[in-house]
Structure 1
Amino acid sequence: MMMSLSVFAKKHFMTISIILCFLLPPLGVTLMLLIGCYSLNKAWKNRLKVNLTPGLFLLCCMFISSLGAGVVMKDHSYFLVSALMLAYIGLYIKITKECVMKTFSVYKWITIYGCLYFYGLYPFQEVTIHPTIKNYLAGTALLGVGDVNHYPRLIGAAYNPNFSVTILLLGLAFLLAELLKNLRNAAYVKVGFQSIAIIAIIHAIILTGSRAGFATMSIIFVLFCFRWNKVVTLLFTLMLAVQYKFILEWMPRNENLFESAETRKDIWKKSFDLWQEYPLFGMTPLGFREEYVYMFHEEIPHAHNLFLAMFAEYGALGGVALIVVVLINIYKASSLFLIKYQSLNLDTFLLSLPVIFLTGIFDYVIFSPQVAVMAILLMASWDKYTARIPLWDLQFFSIPYERYRYYL
């Protein structure tokens, strides 16, 4: 019995780790990072040939920047960020080299059920929100807010509503892609059950109180309609344009929308000033908080914008790398978006990839290792999926199709 359990755990170790990222986030994320470290060590020992894909290029630039920041600023604690980047690189390599379509499918469905789990936690939030060891292990304790009593926003199991909403949006995108497939196949019973789950996740997104999440959700629905029916897309877009005031009323915390925008604008300006102090390598996520307090006498953990955060924390090297990778992926997604051929996971990627970019405009969600691990799994799977798309005929940006043709 113990032997069979050991064999099962070894065979499904990554699946178990992804599940634990939702149930016991500290343990799940730690296991995923250990998988990354083991995979990187294995690739190094076996002298595994690794192709320079866009995602790997970005992670390597972030690793180099964190090393440079540690040396330039003479702070050895910054090398912890370098170690984290190495674990991310190892995890990315494992996905692109070893995982198959079934692996991505498992990740997708775990995320969907994890979102429903987040929603199911909300009625018990008054109990689970408090800073106890049990709640920290479960990911339900609230971080970043002083007063936790009568806190109205949904936290789920990601420590903060802004992190939870990103995971919820990924789950929504995955579920909408499944809905598209069943609508095309006229599987209306499945459509009915999935619609109920979609409504639950939409309500969960609204409960997080995230305005960026609400806006991103609206854009995802426009993309969903476009992939489903062009006429429906036109009607839905016209409805959004005509009823924009009504839509704004549905937006969470709309009463202080402009005040929040001014606060974000101030943080962005100060983050830009911080980048100018350390332009090449930045100051890493560890250094950002310290430098922000030192220069502006405020406790701000990150820049609340993906691009500014990359420039401030990883310097011009990391920031420019991010812009290059975003442009490459816009090119890839645009190449696939309008095609009539329906590949197995095409809708899943086209609906889920914008989540990281769109939420990153008003926040920096990959600051959370829990969200970062989810994003790396998605990014690595996407790079593997789009390996055949030529990019200016530069082969070093793509993984040879012959090696992974069964994945598509």
Structure 2
Amino acid sequence: MTDETHDPSAVSWVDGAGPGSDFPVQNLPLGIFSEAKGLRRPGVAIGDYILDLVSAADLLDEEWREDLSQPILNAWLSRGPETHRALRQRLFELLTDERYRDDLEVHLIGQSEVRMHVPCLIGDYTDFYVGIHHATNVGKQFRPDNPLLPNYKYVPIGYHGRASSVRPSGEPVTRPRGQRKPPDAETPDYGPSRRLDYELELGMWIGRGNDLGQPIPIGEAGEHIAGFCLLNDWSARDLQAWEYQPLGPFLAKNFLTSVSPWIVTADALEPFRKALPPRAQGDPQPLPYLDDPSDRASGGLAIQLEVTLTSARMRSEGIAPHVLSRGSADAAMYWSAAQIVAHHSSNGCNLQPGDLIATGTLSTDSDEGLGSMLEISRGGKQPLTLPTGETRSFLEDGDEVTLRAWCEREGAVRIGLGECVGRVVPPA
């Protein structure tokens, strides 16, 4: 469903919100920001600016003001898609109509002048594994003849992560310590990870939740997704290889998860939805609780993804970032966002406003679209070479990884999800 807020001819009077911006008036993502020594509060990104929703509250519906004055967005997200859509339409009116310019300009703050925060108090964080090409690539390294386990094409695989260590873009990535056992060693030792990696993922913010014991039907799952962000689930592969059996990842991943700070709403992404690709010949069809005609027709997300890396030496020499991968979410995801939410709640698990759900690493079927160093370097066997001549199998101290994402197609205005940035620093 699209409306006047998706009109490609609409332009904002705000400087920097024109073509090429991540944040034109057709986007309007929400986030939490603060100025120096100031309180955290909600804002909406428009061009190079943030519209302060607290100071501009008099121009918004009185019923919204309490929830839009909190230092987190949980209460606002709980209101559901109808209210979210009404705010979007009001903001679109304010930011395109010149009559409001004098009233609103005083409430605009440069994005470079603020600090961004995680937009919600995250009660629970769940990481899925819906990138089938990533799952296949990693599986081949351990099980060359049987890379995907039998359940993969029947059930969206996921595990619960650590919500307390989710941080906004820009937070330093302290190299974790842990137990490691190289294949040629008889016993493990303890120390800094030698195989630190990134993971290119999308995050989903839950809006309206569900009661315990009441699953979310697949046809209604989209109404519970308030929006999307970029997510980097940093991974210590050597710690992971030693600890993950029999219960899965633990210390190898819970030391830090980075998210981009803006919640790009499901409404903003509406023009960029597409049909889910048909299942490959021989693949099982989804079980009925994971199958919905509407999701089949428009559950795909045409989100373009990019990862770049700069080393400390590259930055000191002024060398442009090295592109590690470029791909798209719809080409990487075997299960849709709605299927993820429906499955997560299918046993009666209650999702709550502000919960964070990640897709898992999103890799395409080509070398240009691999979403982790583990895949790019073939488990460390084929190091890549940076423009300086430096080589990398995994991340070194001083390396900075930047995730970017955007949507564009003919007949629609390009929008972006912004950036998710992290720089590796030595262990404390």
Give the TM-score, by structure 2 length. 0.23
Q: Give the helix-richer structure, 1 or 2.
A: 1
Structure in which a larger fraction of residues adopt strand: 2
